[in-house]
Each structure stands twice: as structure tokens, then as C-alpha cells.
Structure 1
């Protein structure tokens, strides 16, 4: 028996497209996707401070349409199960109301963690808690992207048996293969990095909560035992000018790079650093690990508890310059071994696990009459 699964999401997401193609290929799941808006031809990303058009297929290989093209109530009526990514906005709230009206079970997958999205204090915090309590009564099952996300739901009264794992993953196989095939010697030549010179990498939006300034400061104050590494920033954003101003020598800014270019940068690097605060997950960490790169992350990065162990990297307090400097100095001599350990670890955190978790949730719905 097939399940007609309707997925509602804000826009086409480069990380999700390969997963949606895999789900669509399952013989017992008929997937249909509705995007609130279509950004597949490009959009302005305020985090990068520029227009972005991803160079990977976003809507190919599965059935999709946009909200403007869809009769939302009819689409929900003919589906067996509604799967939603997040609950922000009037369109998502309308979908929840329609699902309740039509007695359709709802699967919710979100990124929320207490570190990244705290309720807050005072009357605002109280109002948010009351709103979430009301909202969560409309949701049948929660799909947890990781331990912190699961804890977020548990602390808001969601029963254990209503939470299923659907880990935040990227296309591990593609990143691993592209990293192996990357011409890192040519990339070093283009960037002006000498052969065998160690490289510390940041890749992402140059914005305060991702702490690229903390990385720059930690790199400048590190006591390297051997050859000092180059610090390489890949990305763009509001802090770009400030970072350029304070960079000095041996700091390279490669600018925004598209999705297909990233594996080569991960393969080039000895260590990838994401020392963010208020980071719901940090999928760039998945990408780096799949590419065989050692990682250092902040303790307020959502993936830290699930992905980063001492054998593949380090977790440091967010904003702590000295702790980050120490971690980089200690990790660099064993970065090769740590990168191989990272690649082994991330292979268990993949799309197959996502589909398995989705199947568990769908099976629970079928076997729970009150759902």
C-alpha cells in the first residue's frame, strides 16, 4: 500500500533536493512537494549580501509545484500524510489549520534548538511558550534532526514516542567523490597557497553569529609549533569589509563559491572551523566531514553533540578565542587522521537514515488509530 505524502516547505533548498529525489524513488511513497515560493532561478540572500543562484538541480527528479499554482486545501485533502518543514508564516499556519479541518496527520521537521531559538524571558517568553503549546497540539509526529532538536521538543512536553529521528544530512557520497576528484594542486596555485602549506578553512556567511572574527583573532594569536597555516575564508556577508581590514598577510578571501565548487575547498583544507553561536545545525560541518576534513565547532552549534568527537575534531566554547586557538594548534598535527575519522563518522549520518526515520514515523501513524 502506497502513502501519498505531501511535503510543504518555504522554498527549494539545495541540501534537501537529493533527499527528495530519493524519497520520490521509493515504491511505496508517492511524494508531492509544494514550495511557498520558487527561488530555483535565484534570489537575494541577505546573509551573503548578494544574489544567489545555486548550480545544482533543485526541482528536478520529483513532483513539485508552487503555492501560487496549488489549491492548498485540495492538495491536503487528497494526501494521506502532510509533512511540513517549519511552522513560521501565515501559509504554514493555514496549512496546519487545513490539515486539522480535514483530519490529516502532520509530520513536522524543524531546526529549533534552545541554544539557537530560546523562548526568551518575561511576557514575550511566556507568550511564545503558550503559542508553541497550542501549535504543537496540531502536530501528530515530530521528526528530529538531531539530539538538541529532540531535546527542544521533549522540554516542551512532546512524548518520546511521537519523536522520530530524521537527521540533518547532506549528499555524503557526492561530497566524498568530488573531494577525491578535486584538483587541489591547481586550486592552491589559483589561490596563491604554497604546496603542503596547512590551511584552516571557514566556509559560509560572513556574519557575526558565525564568528568569523573570532576565528581570525584565534588564528592570529595561535602559537604554531611548525609551519603556520593559511587562513582561508570562503563566502561573503556583512562582515567581509571588517575582516579584510584586519586580515593582514596569509589570510585569503575566496569570495562566494557555489555548491559544486565547495568539495575542492574542503579537500584543500586541513581543518574546517565553524565557531558559531545560535547555529541551529551547521550543514557545512556535514559537508566538510564527508569531504574528509577535520572539524572544530562551537558548543552552540546544533550538530556538535551528534557529529563531533575527539577523534575527528573538537568542540570549543562559542566566542572563546583562546580555546579556539588551542584547539587548532592541537588538532593540526593530527588533522589527516582526524579527517579520515570524520569521513567514517559522517557516513552513518546520511539520507538512508532519513528515509528510515521517515518510514518509522509513517508506520507509527498506520499503527496508531488515535493519531
Structure 2
């Protein structure tokens, strides 16, 4: 059913409507098959880029839409309504552009951002490692500094859980250039870099149309002009990016939950038991009411955090709350959608079983929900 949105401008409403229209036409007809065949829909990202939907929160001077984050997130929600894989991919691409857009030099930004934001180049974000997921300060991938001015750094190590691994054109990579938390730096690495190795895709429960791999670096040369920020600034850059990335995942989870709710309502109106539609039975009607309340709560929490970000106010705690609330809600709503469908919901004849599998990982990436609780509790301790 249509979502009642309070948008800040007519332009924002038109952008959300444009996203819904493009995704209904170009994305929805192919989503089930792409997921079934684990086929990455790269051309969809080009279409979204050409429509200006990959660049909404970024400055106009680089080809961005310069839109508030609350608008970008509601566009992302519309994408997730049709494909969770593509919505997560758009969020990860935006996350991958963030360090360059926020901490890069004007020369770096002018050289790379326009093609990134136009969708000509697709990004990936390399922070986690096989032994260091929730603890990024423990990463071991190294970037040996150049011995001469203008020389190359040399990357060595392995990154894990890389969305768009093997499909990306550039990788935003965090590597160790010194000791401790202050010894991590950020690099922009081309996919064609010698020594960059793409490992076989992970065999995942859901989001199968989105490739996830390990990425290895075997003495991979990276020019010092590809250092983003200053040496040792990598961890603050990574954590700052993740605050915004968590809002992207909250939006994707909200869009997925809205779709599961709408499918469940439609089925409950048509399916009859004891002589009337099952939606008219109080037990099921109350279940749907709880699902609707969870989706609305997710959206409200997400937009509160986005509006803090748009106002230039601290939003790290709010972003963690939004990610926690929205992804836990998506898991519960999709599980309940399967219950509404009964035995049919447990089969692949209906997409609700896929929604439930897709929701699960949203409680894990961009910081597990246990890490979100840790972040929130630390903010409360400092308040």
C-alpha cells in the first residue's frame, strides 16, 4: 500500500516517485530471477546513475543531487521495496564514495567523483578482515609507505565480506601504515591494480544477486596520490562513513519490511478460512497490525537520525538506534509474513521466504546489532 511520506520539497517528492517508477519498470521484473541465478544486475546501477539516483546526498559540483539525507534514504527505501540486493548495493556504493567526497583533496574529488556518482564506476568498501570484523582497529592488512616522494604504497593482506567484490571498479581500502588505532590509513584502489586478487563469492543465505567475496592484496602497488586524508586518519574516516552507512542499511531494511507487510496484507485479503478472508480474523489482523507498527517505527527512527545528520548535529547514536530498530523489525516482519502465508510461505512459490533470508544479514553487516547496542550504551555512559 502507498507509504504516506512527509517530504521537504516538491523536488524531493518527484525524486522518490521517479525512483519508484524506474524500479517498478527496470528492477522488479528481474529481481526474482536475478536472485535465483545469483546474477548481479550491473546495468541497473548504470540506469540509477543516469537518473541521478546514485548521487543524491553528494554536492552538485561533482554531479551529485545535493539532497538531504532524509530524501536519499526514502529513495533507497523505494529501491529496497523491489530489490534488497540492489538497495544494499546502492548503500555500499555511497559508503565507498563517502571518504573521497568528505576527506579527499579537491584534485582527487574532481578526478574521480563525477564518474563514481554517475554510476560509470561502482565502488566497494574494504574494512573487515577474516579475523577483524566488529573490531576494525585490529586489522592487519598493511600499506608499506613509499621510500621516495611520489612513490607507491605496497598493500598486503586480505579483506573479507566485500560487497561487490569482483564486480567493483574501485575499492576503498583501509590498511595499516603504523601501530595502534592511529596507524590506519585510507586508500582508493583501482580494480585493475596488479596484485589485487578476487576470491570466489561467498555462498550466502540471501542477497544472492549481490556478490560478496574476500579481496586479497599481494604486494599491490598504490600511488601515494590515492591516499585519502592524511596517514593515520583511516579509522576516524571509516567510523564516520559507517554512521552514514548504517542509515543506508536502515532504509534498505525498512523498504524490505514494507514489501513483506504489503504482500502479507494482499494475501490475507484474498485467502479465506471459515468462510471469510483471514485478515478479518482477529488473531491474524492483530499480527498484521504489529507488523505495520514495526515498519512505521523503523521509518520514523531512521528519519529522525537522518534529520539530525542534515542539521549538522551529532547523529552517531541515532544512526546506531536506527540500524538496530529497523533491521530487528525487518527480521520480525518478514518472519511474520511467512506465518501469514502459512505453508505456502515456506515454499519458493512466494517471495516472502526470500524476504526473511534477506532480512537476516541486515542484523549483521555495517556492525552487528550487538555492536550497535555497545555503541548506544557508550553514548549513554558519556551523556
Question: Per the shorter chain, which TM-score range?
Answer: under 0.3
TM-score, normalised to structure 2's length?
A: 0.26
Bigger strand share: 1
TM-score, normalised to structure 1's length?
A: 0.26
